[in-house]
Amino acid sequence: MIEVFILLMGAATMFAAAVLWDPDIVRAAASLVMVFLLTGFALLAIGAWFVGAMQVLLGAGAVAVLALYAAITTKKRKEVLRAPHAGKIAALALGILGISIGFLTLNTPGVLTVYSSDTGAIADVLFRDIGLTVALSLLLLVALIASAYIIRYVFLREVRA
């Protein structure tokens, strides 16, 4: 199924390019939904259906929709894309980085045979190590409190005004 995987990833890369170079921010955010959907389907194609489903549900369903919401509420929908002068250098450096990483990882051992996610094994990894679970829950708590603290300023301004 590697062929289907590669095909879907190619399509996802096209949509990713659209995310960066489409001047309309709402269309860009909509392209992100496609990126998540296509990468999710690519994962489903090789049998990693647990993380593939998560990619579709959490990625396309939650994260990308949050981005879409932010894009819709923006007051400047059309954007003049201005990369800083260092943009070209960054593109060159990242291109070289990508190609060299590609060559280094070319022979990573591993065969994509008929794998299928095993929920029992996944639950075992996730909950056997309580330390990991505790750290994850702290991360979620931090996310809640930190974003509430940042957004609170919007209301503070209104109250002060």
Site for another protein in 96-155 (CB under 8 A): 97-98, 101-102, 104-112, 115, 117-118, 121-122, 124-126, 128-136, 138-143, 145-147, 149-154
Provide φ and ψ at 115, rounded to 5°. Answer: -90, 150
Q: Work out how close the CB of 21 gets to another protein at its nearest, in angstroms, rounded to a whole number.
A: 9
**Closest to 45 (Cα-Cα) out of 12, 15, 18:** 12
Distance separating alpha carbons of residues 124 and 120, to the nearest angstrom: 6
Count of positions on this chain that bind another protein (CB under 8 A): 100
Instruction: Please give the residues from 38 up to 77 whose contact with another protein meets the rule CB under 8 A.
Output: 39, 42-43, 46-48, 50-52, 54-55, 58-59, 62-64, 66-67, 69-71, 73-76
Q: Work out how close the CB of 76 gets to another protein at its nearest, in angstroms, rounded to a whole number.
A: 6
What would the DSSP string read from start to end of 100-153? Answer: HHHHHTTT------S----HHHHHHHHHH-HHHHHHHHHHHHHHHHHHHHHHHH
Q: Work out how close the CB of 141 gets to another protein at its nearest, in angstroms, rounded to a whole number.
A: 7
